[in-house]
């Protein structure tokens, strides 16, 4: 991933040095297991751990000849440990190291993503609670529908990201598995107890069954989960972008001192951060598709997945880390224009109360078809003549046949339409 979207902590996990450190951890853990069960001399792990080292430049030199990154790593490692190096990789296959090392990287990276998610959830919660009673118009199909609150809108995203948190926890668990089962997963040269020892030592679980590789449905589940979270981020970013349009202008991204919105138009204050997040979500979806393609391997084992994963896994983990923290900052510094929300709510001149009128007429004995027609006719006058809905129905004898002026007036009440928002907040655990 390019530096522009790479945060240092996550970037370090996916550096080549970090990858090789994980490989070394797996190799040493395997040696400790072999020594523990007396398959190799007991002092070998200590000898190797004292001297074990690797040099990335030297590994690249070796790889030019051997055309195999794990062999290049093992050759360089053996150069640093002397005669004891003959026990390195004893009974193992390359993917024992590759896949178990990758599991360590994924587990570490997922903890960062879960922390990022928790921070975004906390910001969404705070914003939802703060604006629980902040009135705005609810829209459907982009058109004014009924009154709602900005807090309710944020509560919706809070609930969605709580679900994403559960999804990611589950996916993180699914990829936190290692394997030390040999070339075709039969434990022909290293028994299962060695694998169990290694995985326990590394904080992983042993795969119940594997071929030469861990099966890629595990990684596909994580990558599709990342794409779903990216979709939620795009959904939130798209809402902010829409609400920042000049014609609406109910919220704005924070605009820093000295910031410029356009090279041509000095007045511009564009939602560039939300646009960036929305765009990056497309990369996550594309990578998820590639992860799904990686599932089908010849006889459950080839390396068509390997070249793909070198790109898609680090890139997706790095991008999601960036997107989550970036969006949390957008929400935290969001400018909420309450007065504009109220002004927009009143632009439709009372038509947001049409359903209340419809139901009142039905309760008073009017058929649904007639009631709908009466309210729709009144709404047409609002569109065509510039009247308010209240003014239109107060002049309609058909409506007055069923409803008194007092009953009509009582319908045009914003609080009535948002009276149950508090109950929704209780359901979500946002209020006591």
Question: Backbone phi, then psi, for 251, in 5-degree steps?
Answer: -140, 160
333: Cβ–Cβ under 8 A, 6 or more apart, which residues? 253, 254
Torsion-angle region of 38 (φ positive above 0: left; ψ -120 to 50: alpha; else: beta): left
Active site residue 141: yes
Under the phi-then-psi rule, with left for phi > 0, alpha for psi from -120 to 50, and beta for the rest, what region is 269?
A: beta
Residues 422/428/429/430 CA torsion (nearest 10 deg): -60
Other beta carbons within 10 Å of 242: 16
What is the β-pairing status of strands 143-149 and 177-178?
A: unpaired
As given in the structure block, the two tokens for residue 185 are: 């997963």
195: Cβ–Cβ under 8 A, 6 or more apart, which residues? 33, 178, 179, 180, 181, 187, 206
Catalytic residue among 83, 140, 141, 307: 141
Per-residue b or e along 249-271, where b marks 16 or more CB atoms closer than 10 Å to that residue's CB: bbbbbebeeeeeeeeeeeeebbb
60 is catalytic: no
Backbone φ/ψ region at 141: left (φ over 0), alpha (ψ -120 to 50), beta? left
Closest CA to 198 of 79, 82, 104: 104
Which of 262, 373, 404, 410 is the catalytic position?
262
Which residue's entry shows tokens 């919706």?
156
Quick one: which of 31, 28, 24 has its CA closest to 53? 24
Which of the residues are catalytic?
141, 262
């Amino acid at each position: 991933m390019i530096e522009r979207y790479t945060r240092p902590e996550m970037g370090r996990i996916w550096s080549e040095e970090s990858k090789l450190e994980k490989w070394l951890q797996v190799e040493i853990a395997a040696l400790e297991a072999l020594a523990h069960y007396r398959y190799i001399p007991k002092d070998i792990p200590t000898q190797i751990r004292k001297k074990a080292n690797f040099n990335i430049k030297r590994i690249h030199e070796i790889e030019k000849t051997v055309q195999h990154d794990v062999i290049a790593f093992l050759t360089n490692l053996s150069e640093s440990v002397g005669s004891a190096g003959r026990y390195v990789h004893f009974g193992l296959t390359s993917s024992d190291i590759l896949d178990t090392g990758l599991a360590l990287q994924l587990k570490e990276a997922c903890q960062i993503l879960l922390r990022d998610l928790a921070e975004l959830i906390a910001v969404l919660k705070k914003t939802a609670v703060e604006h629980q009673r902040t009135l705005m118009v609810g829209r459907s199909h982009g058109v004014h529908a009924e009154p709602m609150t900005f807090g309710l809108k944020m509560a919706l995203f809070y609930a969605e990201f709580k679900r994403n948190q559960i999804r990611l926890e589950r996916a993180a668990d699914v990829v936190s598995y290692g394997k030390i089962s040999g070339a075709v997963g039969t434990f022909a040269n290293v028994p299962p107890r060695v694998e169990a020892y290694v995985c326990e030592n590394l904080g992983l679980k042993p795969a119940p069954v594997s071929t030469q590789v861990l099966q890629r449905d595990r990684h596909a589940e994580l990558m599709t989960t990342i794409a779903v979270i990216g979709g939620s981020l795009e959904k939130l970013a798209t809402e902010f972008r829409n609400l920042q349009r000049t014609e609406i202008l109910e919220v704005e991204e924070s605009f820093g001192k000295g910031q410029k919105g356009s090279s041509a138009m000095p007045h511009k204050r564009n939602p560039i951060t939300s646009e960036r997040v929305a765009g990056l979500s497309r990369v996550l979806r594309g990578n998820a598709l590639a992860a799904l393609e990686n599932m089908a391997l010849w006889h459950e084992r080839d390396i068509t997945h390997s070249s793909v994963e070198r790109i898609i896994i680090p890139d997706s983990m790095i991008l999601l880390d960036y997107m989550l923290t970036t969006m949390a900052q957008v929400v935290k510094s969001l400018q909420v224009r309450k007065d504009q929300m109220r002004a927009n709510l009143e632009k439709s001149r009372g038509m947001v109360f049409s359903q209340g009128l419809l139901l009142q007429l039905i309760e008073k004995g009017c058929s649904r078809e007639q009631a709908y027609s009466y309210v729709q006719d009144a709404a047409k006058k609002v569109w065509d003549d510039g009247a308010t809905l209240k003014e239109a129905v107060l002049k309609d004898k058909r409506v007055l046949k069923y409803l008194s002026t007092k009953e009509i007036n009582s319908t045009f009440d914003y609080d009535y339409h948002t009276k149950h928002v508090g109950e929704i907040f209780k359901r979500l655990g946002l209020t006591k």
